[in-house]
Chain A
Amino acid sequence: GQQVMQIPQYQHVQEGEDFTTYCNSSTTLSNIQWYKQRPGGHPVFLIQLVKSGEVKKQKRLTFQFGEAKKNSSLHITATQTTDVGTYFCYTGNQFYFGTGTSLTVIP
């Protein structure tokens, strides 16, 4: 079955510090999506990665898809309190959401 690990489960950072969450699969993925869920809210689509080695940026967020298409990362530079929430990876070919990384930003 699908084995997708997302780490870390929790991350507390001081405002201004960087943050990274990783998604690792035991099988090759056709694509990967990232979502953000604010506390009390619903998941919101951030981005999709399709190509091997792909890197996409959205302001302070950088998304990477590994060369083997088995792992992906989301990096936030200089976190802000508005970045608080849980970040999920999603594998489209298995309809599977990762366990999520809950980010707390300390002002």
Chain B
Amino acid sequence: DAGVIQSPRHEVTEMGQEVTLRCKPISGHNSLFWYRQTMMRGLELLIYFNNNVPIDDSGMPEDRFSAKMPNASFSTLKIQPSEPRDSAVYFCASSPGTGEDQPQHFGDGTRLSIL
């Protein structure tokens, strides 16, 4: 079975540029999560969708970050404009149900470097 698919795997870009990260969740999963992982802050939840609807976006750092889930099989996380402090590994995860009491399945992540 295909797992969670993220693209790109690596992204290096200059500050000020727009960055778009993509995620395809596991088919049939109702919940989708975007996380950011850094050494300093660990694994932080950015936003959580359930049935394509954003439920909790309190972790989104600021207006430069936006996330969409236009359908059950696709989500994007966009950073515009990007800054060096956005450099991190961004993970997408999906889960059956609400995600509160079901395992989360993670993609391989996007390693983002903003120069």
Query: Which A residues fall within an 8 A CB radius of B?
Result: 30-31, 33, 35, 41-45, 48, 50, 88, 90, 92-93, 95-97, 99-100
Interchain CB contact under 8 A, A97 and B100: no
**A61-B99 Cα distance, complex, nearest whole Å:** 24
Given the known interface contacts A42-B109, A95-B33, the answer about A33 and B42 at a Cβ–Cβ threshold of 8 Å is no
Q: Which residues of A contact B91 (CB under 8 A)?
A: 42-43
**Residue from B99, B103, B108, B109 within 8 A of A95 (CB atoms):** B99
Given the known interface contacts A92-B99, A95-B48, A95-B56, the answer about A45 and B104 at a Cβ–Cβ threshold of 8 Å is yes
Given the known interface contacts A42-B106, A42-B107, the answer about A92 and B42 at a Cβ–Cβ threshold of 8 Å is no
**A50-B105 Cα distance, complex, nearest whole Å:** 19
Interchain CB contact under 8 A, B43 and A45: no
Q: How far is the CB of A73 from chain B (nearest CB, A)?
A: 19
**A96-B33 Cα distance, complex, nearest whole Å:** 12
Q: How far is the CB of B2 from chain A (nearest CB, A)?
A: 15
**A50-B101 Cα distance, complex, nearest whole Å:** 9
Encode contact with A along B82-115: 1 for CB under 8 Å, 0 otherwise: 0000000001010000011101111111000000
**A30-B100 Cα distance, complex, nearest whole Å:** 9
Q: Which residues of B contact A95 (CB under 8 A)?
A: 33, 45, 48, 56, 99-100
Given the known interface contacts A95-B33, A95-B56, the answer about A45 and B103 at a Cβ–Cβ threshold of 8 Å is yes
Given the known interface contacts A42-B91, A42-B106, A95-B33, the answer about A48 and B101 at a Cβ–Cβ threshold of 8 Å is yes
Q: How far is the CB of A84 from chain B (nearest CB, A)?
A: 17
**Residue from B33, B42, B103, B107 within 8 A of A48 (CB atoms):** B103
Interchain CB contact under 8 A, A99 and B101: no
Q: Could you say which of A35, A42, A45, A48 has the most chain B C-beta atoms within 10 Å of its C-beta?
A: A42
Q: Could you say which of A33, A43, A44, A88 has the most chain B C-beta atoms within 10 Å of its C-beta?
A: A43
Q: Which residues of B contact A90 (CB under 8 A)?
A: 104
**A92-B108 Cα distance, complex, nearest whole Å:** 21
**A96-B43 Cα distance, complex, nearest whole Å:** 9
**A100-B99 Cα distance, complex, nearest whole Å:** 20
